[in-house]
A = this chain, B = another copy of it.
Amino acid sequence: MKEIKHRSGCPVSYTLDFFGDKWSLLILRDMMLFGKTTYGEFQSSAEKIATNILADRLSMLEHYGFVNKQVGTDKKSKFSYTLTEKGISLVPVILEIGLWGAQFHPPGLNPELKAALQNDRQDTIQAIQEKLRSKLQPG
């Protein structure tokens, strides 16, 4: 892996040094919101990520501790990618990005999720995070 260099002390630019591209947050979205765990599932998303970009981003996410790569329990030779605690800590970021987009992009967010977030944001976020934690991943 090529190391990321951080451009400044600013926390906004720090985050963008990791996620300032068109794909890495979509992989995390698929894990957080749709429970995806395998290479093939990530590849099948509507945005049609190129396979080399997917491989590159997964290795970045693993290298920096956002996800964990394990041999799948079903013994079908698939690897299983799961979020680490550090990955789970990005839930509020992804949701905020989704809420913003939903204001302008017709299909919007799942209405129940949207309502829940607007009614009690903190609880809704924590519930999602708890559910992800229950899939038990070290890291």
What is the interface of chain A, defined by CB distance below 8 A to chain B? 6-17, 20-23, 25-26, 29, 45-48, 89-90, 92-94, 96-109, 121
- B residues in contact with A6, CB < 8 Å: 105
Are B16 and A25 interface neighbours, CB within 8 A? yes
Cβ-closest chain B residue relative to A20: B22
Select which of B10, B92, B105 is within 8 A of A14 by beta carbon. Answer: B105
The contact of A26 among B16, B22, B89, B96, by CB within 8 Å, is B16
Interface centre among A8, A10, A109 (most CB of B within 10 A): A10
Q: Is the CB of B92 within 8 A of A100?
A: yes
Sample (17) of A-B pairs whose CB atoms are under 8 Å apart = A7-B22, A9-B105, A10-B107, A12-B25, A12-B97, A13-B26, A13-B46, A13-B47, A15-B97, A15-B100, A20-B20, A20-B21, A20-B22, A90-B100, A93-B96, A93-B97, A93-B100
